[in-house]
A and B are shown apart, each in its own frame.
Chain A
Amino acid sequence: MSQPVLSVSGLAKDYGNGQGCFDIDFELYAGEVLCIVGESGSGKSTLLSTLAGRLRADSGSVRFCDRDGRQHELTELAEAERRRLARSEWGFVTQHARDGLRMGVSAGANVSERLMALGQRHYGQLRETAAQWLEKVEISRERLDDRPSAFSGGMQQRLQIARNLVTQPRLVFMDEPTGGLDVSVQARFLDLLRRLVHDSGIAVIMVTHDLGVARLLAQRTLVMQRGRVVEAGLTDQILDDPQHPYSQLLVSSILQA
């Protein structure tokens, strides 16, 4: 197998009061979805922000391999370089679509923004690309000039996906992307996401507290508690045969339909 997209070893972010995340090790390969599950306050989002370089790590290393095969040590990256990677190689999907979208401009402008940031200057082409991406995320191309505020929650979340995937990033961070969606919308959203990930071969790190999401999407799962990974492995293995008491608790709390 080729080099991992992301390899993390001994990563720690300490807020100073015992909160944060500690001793994180894992590797992520292209086309793989990794779910980080755990209860509120377990350090999931801290871990995600640290990986994405939004928070400064206290120790450990995060190595990212870009599309040209060059390695970047993210914990020591200069801000200019980090922002360049964030623009061209990463995506970040937030829980609340309005944090990740520009609500004041049309859907087309939202999707095109990253392309324009990378220097595309042909309006007709930008528009066509944006329309294609809207269709890929199951939004009619007639909605191209509508503002995201006129969209439903599920559509906003799908628009956010389109906005991030339009530059074909290698790695996408997702912070509870299904958080605010009702169950049927969630199911469609996850379906779509699985297809897009499968088609484009991107790597995804997704934070969620919903084990159902993990089962549907993720090949591998990390279970976190109090800032530490208490169990890591194949998702099916963890869900069917949890070893750690906390994982057992999580799995047993899923309502049996």
Chain B
Amino acid sequence: MTEARPGQWQYNFAFLDENTKRMLRRALLKAVAIPGYQVPFGSREMPLPYGWGTGGIQLTASIIGQHDVLKVIDQGADDTTNAVNIRRFFARVTGVATTSHTTEASLIQTRHRIPETPLRPGQIVVFQVPEPEALRTLEASEVETRKLHAHQEYGLMHVKLYEDIARFGHIATSYDYPVMVNQRYLASPSPIPKFDNPKLDMSPALLLFGAGREKRLYAIPPYTRVESLAFDDHPFSVQRWEQACALCGSHDSYLDEIITDDAGARMFVCSDTDYCQQQQEGVA
């Protein structure tokens, strides 16, 4: 399907031109060298709108090679619109193999989740990030937030957590939960549920974050300390469910609540479709 038909215009491998890819790789090298630091880059116009994963696509395009096996997920699922389209896009412009199995993938582009199956060394996860600046809702000025990062003044972030506890009795931030990377830079883990935050810590895989509209990328290299912020008397905790997954019976995956009819009947199922599939096959 990747063979150019006669007369059909042929894109460069992975859509972006080589100079753009080089620019992105240089920015990525800097990002890996300074874990959690937001590196500006020249975000390109992509064939999908901002907010649909233009940052993630550009990172993937800059690092994908002919022998890579690509997996794309959206909210954990391999079969949602965003995931299907991005996977098809790369299949078309690179011809690389694609998969829905976490274990087979060498490169995983994701929106809002980290796969349940533990990552292994050598894998790369690319996150689509809408707002790379964790402090943005509290401080509107980019000049100021950069200074706050430079001087490591992160008291402001705790103001938000304080406010959560004052209003709801507990830290109600449930996704995009701020983390401290390598005990230096405050970073947004992208809107993954805080359930996935512990997977960032000492991850064997390389984690790359791209924000296309905001033109920033950052990275968490393998085996880097990533700490979720908290108070001494309100420690960090993740979501827990009373139910098990209705399909695979898993007790330790992140569950989505699905309403099944107009009477309000509902069921809880794994958000990670690949993991759910594996569990079902394992049980069966």
Within 8 Å of chain B (Cβ to Cβ): is A121? yes
Q: Collect the chain B residues with CB atoms within 8 Å of residue A108's CB.
A: 162, 166
Tell me whether A109 and B163 are in contact in the complex, defined as CB-CB below 8 angstroms, given that A114-B155, A116-B158, A117-B155 are known contacts.
yes
User: Are the CB atoms of B232 and A121 closer together than 8 Å?
Assistant: yes
Within 8 Å of chain B (Cβ to Cβ): is A225? no
0 or 1 for each of A141-167: is its CB under 8 Å from B? (1 = yes)? 000110000000000000000000000
What is the distance, in angstroms, from B22's C-beta to the closest C-beta of chain A?
34
What is the distance, in angstroms, from B180's C-beta to the closest C-beta of chain A?
12
Within 8 Å of chain B (Cβ to Cβ): is A254? no
User: Are the CB atoms of B155 and A106 closer together than 8 Å?
Assistant: no
Give chain A's interface secondary structure class: helix
Binds B, one of A37-45, A122-130, A188-196: A122-130
User: Are the CB atoms of B163 and A123 closer together than 8 Å?
Assistant: no
User: Are the CB atoms of A83 and B153 closer together than 8 Å?
Assistant: yes
User: Are the CB atoms of A116 and B151 closer together than 8 Å?
Assistant: no
What is the distance, in angstroms, from A165's C-beta to the closest C-beta of chain B?
17
Q: Collect the chain B residues with CB atoms within 8 Å of residue A116's CB.
A: 155, 158-159, 162
Chain A-chain B contacts (Cβ-Cβ < 8 Å), number: 60
User: Are the CB atoms of B151 and A80 closer together than 8 Å?
Assistant: yes
Contact of A121 among B156, B158, B159, B160 (CB under 8 A): B158
What is the distance, in angstroms, from B228's C-beta to the closest C-beta of chain A?
13
* Contact size range, B: 20 to 34
User: Are the CB atoms of A113 and B231 closer together than 8 Å?
Assistant: no
Within 8 Å of chain B (Cβ to Cβ): is A46? no
User: Are the CB atoms of B162 and A145 closer together than 8 Å?
Assistant: no
What is the distance, in angstroms, from B230's C-beta to the closest C-beta of chain A?
8
Q: Which residue of B lies closest to A144 (CB)?
A: B166
CB within 8 Å of A: which B80-101 residues: none
User: Are the CB atoms of B153 and A113 closer together than 8 Å?
Assistant: no
User: Are the CB atoms of A87 and B153 closer together than 8 Å?
Assistant: yes
User: Are the CB atoms of B231 and A121 closer together than 8 Å?
Assistant: yes
Chain A: interface residue total (CB-CB under 8 A): 25
Q: Collect the chain A residues with CB atoms within 8 Å of residue B165's CB.
A: 123
User: Are the CB atoms of B159 and A112 closer together than 8 Å?
Assistant: yes
* Cα-based distance from A84 to B153 in the complex (angstroms): 9
User: Are the CB atoms of A145 and B166 closer together than 8 Å?
Assistant: yes
User: Are the CB atoms of A122 and B155 closer together than 8 Å?
Assistant: no
Q: Collect the chain B residues with CB atoms within 8 Å of residue A118's CB.
A: 155
Q: Which residue of B lies closest to A106 (CB)?
A: B166
Within 8 Å of chain B (Cβ to Cβ): is A185? no
Within 8 Å of chain B (Cβ to Cβ): is A105? yes
CB within 8 Å of A: which B138-159 residues: 138, 147, 150-151, 153-156, 158-159
User: Are the CB atoms of A122 and B166 closer together than 8 Å?
Assistant: no
* Cα-based distance from A83 to B152 in the complex (angstroms): 11
Within 8 Å of chain A (Cβ to Cβ): is B167? yes
Q: Collect the chain A residues with CB atoms within 8 Å of residue B151's CB.
A: 79-80, 83-84
Within 8 Å of chain A (Cβ to Cβ): is B3? no
User: Are the CB atoms of A122 and B232 closer together than 8 Å?
Assistant: yes
Q: Collect the chain B residues with CB atoms within 8 Å of residue A122's CB.
A: 231-233
Within 8 Å of chain A (Cβ to Cβ): is B266? no
Within 8 Å of chain B (Cβ to Cβ): is A102? yes
User: Are the CB atoms of A123 and B234 closer together than 8 Å?
Assistant: yes
User: Are the CB atoms of B153 and A112 closer together than 8 Å?
Assistant: no
Given contacts A105-B159, A113-B159, A123-B231, 5 further A-B contacts (CB under 8 A): A102-B138, A115-B155, A117-B155, A118-B155, A124-B233
Residues of B in contact with A (beta carbons under 8 Å apart): 138, 147, 150-151, 153-156, 158-160, 162-163, 165-167, 230-234
Q: Can you spell out 19 A-B residue pairs with CB atoms less than 8 angstroms apart?
A: A79-B147, A79-B151, A80-B151, A84-B151, A87-B153, A102-B138, A105-B160, A106-B163, A106-B166, A108-B162, A108-B166, A109-B159, A113-B155, A113-B159, A121-B232, A122-B233, A123-B165, A123-B231, A124-B233
